Structure 1
Amino acid sequence: MSTEAFLTDFHQVAAIGATPAGGVERQAATPEDKQLRDWFTAFAAERGWPVRVDSIGNLFALVEWRPGADYVLVGSHLDSQPLGGRFDGAYGVIAALHAADRLAARVAGGEPPKYNLAVVDWFNEEGSRFAPSIMGSSVFAGLMDEQEMLRVTDPDGITVAEALDAIGYRGTDERPKPAAYAEIHIEQGPVLEREGIALGAVDRSWYTQKLDVEVLGEQSHTGATAMADRRDALVAASKVVVLVHDVTADFEPESIVSSVGYLTLEPNSPIVVPRRVHLVADIRANAPEIVQQARELLLERIAAVAREHDLTIEVRDFDVRPVQHFPEQGLEIAEKVAADLGAGIRRINTMAGHDSVAMNRIVPALMLFIPSIDGVSHCEREYTSDDQMAIGVDALTEATWELLQGGLEAER
């Protein structure tokens, strides 16, 4: 298929769940997510590709050349953040579908490659409606318990299982057996744009972990309770938020990032001093010891806040993800493909989590980046040009072709 066909599909898909400021909102297992999944299924059906849906909602379009052979999986995710960008995730799935179509045409009438091909849309990569993130690929890889994930609830108390049933995408199909995995994604950072380079070959992920924090104070009247008698959970939680932000100053610049992006409070009434705040802190660094040091500093400082305000703050570790090194052979494939296309490429870390990081735990994975304008992501201003996307589709097509021939077998 042509570049024009890819761009037409990409921009048409961006209209599903479109927001007024140019982004999209398609959180996992919502009606908008269903619309996009239906579009994916129709794309496959038009080409005669069987579609499978597994029991955690992962969606696979199969291009089978050798019955019984394993599959090279290629894809990303179609769900978005609230008021998210139209490129994050969806670009990788649409690029994978078009790469598969090009490769199917290449194989037609000739010698089939060693492996079959499966294009995948992973369920709930974003983790905005249902935490944790990277859920579908992590269940596939055996890193998360499927039954536990199906019981996870959104803020309205709806479980993953109920949400998938509601949109008709909790399946029972057998999962394709993977031989290797490939993914392309916008960088979500400034490096490629700043250096004027078309492609990034991801060589490692950052160490990440989250802290689940509950601040437990005492509910009281905002007008009738003396200031000295208050045990205000929100005031204490606000100090925790600042501590999480400021802990990065204890380390070398650009070696660590941290934030609080999720917070709820009870009873959330304008005339009640809050009794409980729940928040999630996200800490990421280029080395595990930095995250661990930051965690220890935060625990000490959070304990001091609890004493100052005479309340309880409970902190629980969860969603700890170690550094993942991507295979050298995959990096070399990416560099060869870029050279053949006449495109610049550099090796690059991923600070964000991706489905490729989960898949790299069970099969050799290759991940490519294309530039993000201003390095922004998870917002409506997220942008990558048509030309930059087109180069990425070409690179993904050729890299996937190498994997189909067994290009990462030495890493298995």
Structure 2
Amino acid sequence: MSQDAAFLTDFHHAATIGATDNDGVDRQAATDLDGDVRRWFAGWFQDRGRRVLVDEIGNMFGLFEWREGAPFVLVGSHLDTQPLGGRFDGSYGVIAGMHVAAQIDEAITAGDQEAPRYNLAVVNWFNEEGARFAPSVMGSSVFAGLFELEQMLDVQDLEGVSVRKALADIGFLGSDDGPEAVGYAEIHIEQGRILEREGIDLGVVDRSWYTQKLDIEVLGEQSHTGATAMADRRDALVGASEIVLMVRQVTQDFPEEALVSSVGQLVVEPNSPIVVARRVHLVADLRSGDPEIVQQARQTLLDKIEALAARDNLVINVKDFDVRPIRHFPTAGVELAESVVEGLGLTSRRVQTMAGHDSVALNTMVPSAMLFIPSVDGVSHCEREFSTDEDMVKGLAALKGLVQEMLSGKFVDDGR
């Protein structure tokens, strides 16, 4: 079997773990299915005689050690998914990293290349998606020192299960120290349509967008849907519904696509068909390449929410949540990635990532680089998410070239 075929075989096999009826994957963090894919990941390395570490937040590291005592370049992404999510988001980057490591190791074993300056660790970061446990990008942020470990272990899902208990239940509440990292590389699907629209092979990420979330609690009064006069109702769900529309409408105050915003989750209490809702919890997500735009949108929403609360006799509590500044990826890494792509005869362009990724967290800790491959129709976080085998293989080659350079010290040594 060729190296590309071996990669595609593993990629498509992993997509069967938690597969949905419509070719997606539902494999949320620290569920039984996440445990299944984690055991597959660990077994892949163990079959090759390689150690696997699991740290205290559940991050997994498969180690290729060629120089005793040398630190590690990290490569990877995440294997958890959104509910009814896609096969590609996260998983592509992990499995590409696995096969990059295997191909480099095969060349070293065969004597076709010398052992590089640094060792290599392939990473499956815990709870990147944040679907079951908020905030997202949890495991890599703990590793990078951005989130506090004990606080994250105490986070609970909607059923009251903590991260600590969920990881223990599937056997991945680890105790290992993670490897000493000197650099990080990640490849991912674009989750947008720039590359597809422009017919470009790969995107080289040069910065992330500013993110601001608002944690919103709407408090009304529980009452009978059939017996309470309309004038006497304090309906938290009606108030929350207006806020959902406000969050969408605020984008119209700015140039097209300058701001994206949405509410993705509502928790309604008591959620009975004959009871006016007494409480609704929701999170608004605001993102832009310009922090000032986000701040203006935030203030507009706060003003409108205050007026709504007064008008409808509601109590609405709003807290800032998961605020993430713009992170610029090092120019040396961007230029190195562009050079690698050009050397393969492929095309690239610089892109910004609107979504959060593990590379954004790692970029605060060690020199980091990120590549994108095209997404068909720009669709993501749903079962229809798709990238072609051809594009995945091109990305695999680019990632291998980038990692090879980083293992030799290129760009990585800038941060040491």
TM-score bucket (shorter structure): over 0.9
Amino acid at match of 1:55: E
Q: Helix, strand or coil: the match of 1:279? A: strand
Counterpart residue number, 2:372: 369
What is the distance in 1 between the residues matched to 2:399 and 2:100?
Answer: 7
Counterpart residue number, 1:89: 90
Distance apart, 1:67 and its partner CA: 1.5
Counterpart residue number, 1:291: 294
Aligned: 1:348 with 2:351: yes
Structure 1 segments unaligned to the other structure (5+ residues): none
Q: Helix, strand or coil: the match of 2:73? A: strand
Counterpart residue number, 2:139: 136
Distance apart, 1:149 and its partner CA: 0.4
Amino acid at match of 2:59: N
What is the distance in 2 between the residues matched to 1:228 and 1:48?
Answer: 71
Distance apart, 1:69 and its partner CA: 1.3
Counterpart residue number, 2:262: 259
What is the distance in 2 between the residues matched to 1:166 and 1:106?
Answer: 39
Aligned: 1:395 with 2:405: no
What is the distance in 1 between the residues matched to 2:107 and 2:206?
Answer: 29
CA-to-aligned-CA distance 1:49-98 (integer Å, 9 cap, x gap): 11000000000000111111110000000000000000000000000000
**8 Å CA contact 1:364, 1:411 repeated in 2:** yes
Counterpart residue number, 2:205: 202
Counterpart residue number, 2:414: 410
CA-to-aligned-CA distance 1:144-178 (integer Å, 9 cap, x gap): 01000000011111100000001100111111011
Q: Percent identity among equivalent residues?
A: 62
Q: Helix, strand or coil: the match of 1:307? A: helix
Superposition CA RMSD, Å: 0.8
Distance apart, 1:189 and its partner CA: 0.3
**8 Å CA contact 2:56, 2:175 repeated in 1:** yes
Query: Superposition pairs for residues 324-339 of structure 1, below 5 Å?
Result: 324-339=327-342
Amino acid at match of 1:34: G
Distance apart, 1:47 and its partner CA: 1.3
Amino acid at match of 2:125: W
Distance apart, 1:111 and its partner CA: 2.4
Q: Helix, strand or coil: the match of 1:80? A: coil
**8 Å CA contact 1:329, 1:411 repeated in 2:** no
Q: Helix, strand or coil: the match of 1:19? A: coil
What is the distance in 1 between the residues matched to 2:135 and 2:206?
Answer: 24
Counterpart residue number, 2:54: 53
**8 Å CA contact 2:367, 2:414 repeated in 1:** no
**8 Å CA contact 1:124, 1:133 repeated in 2:** yes
Counterpart residue number, 1:98: 99
Aligned: 1:9 with 2:10: yes
**8 Å CA contact 2:195, 2:203 repeated in 1:** yes
Aligned: 1:178 with 2:178: no
Q: Helix, strand or coil: the match of 1:326? A: coil
What is the distance in 2 between the residues matched to 1:126 and 1:311?
Answer: 32
**8 Å CA contact 1:248, 1:258 repeated in 2:** yes
Q: Tell me whether 297-306 or 101-110 shows the greater mean CA deviation.
A: 101-110
Amino acid at match of 2:75: V
What is the distance in 2 between the residues matched to 1:147 and 1:198?
Answer: 41
TM-score under structure 2 normalisation? 0.98
Distance apart, 1:411 and its partner CA: 4.2
Counterpart residue number, 1:113: 116
**8 Å CA contact 1:221, 1:273 repeated in 2:** yes
Counterpart residue number, 2:172: 169
Amino acid at match of 2:188: H
**8 Å CA contact 2:127, 2:137 repeated in 1:** yes
Question: Which runs of structure 1 show a deviation greater than 3 angstroms over 4 or more consecutive aligned residues?
Answer: none
TM-score under structure 1 normalisation? 0.99
Counterpart residue number, 2:313: 310
Amino acid at match of 1:62: L
What is the distance in 2 between the residues matched to 1:404 and 1:287?
Answer: 34
Query: Superposition pairs for residues 145-164 of structure 1, below 5 Å?
Result: 145-164=148-167
**8 Å CA contact 2:182, 2:415 repeated in 1:** no
**8 Å CA contact 1:16, 1:32 repeated in 2:** yes
Q: Helix, strand or coil: the match of 2:106? A: helix
Distance apart, 1:107 and its partner CA: 2.1
Amino acid at match of 1:330: G
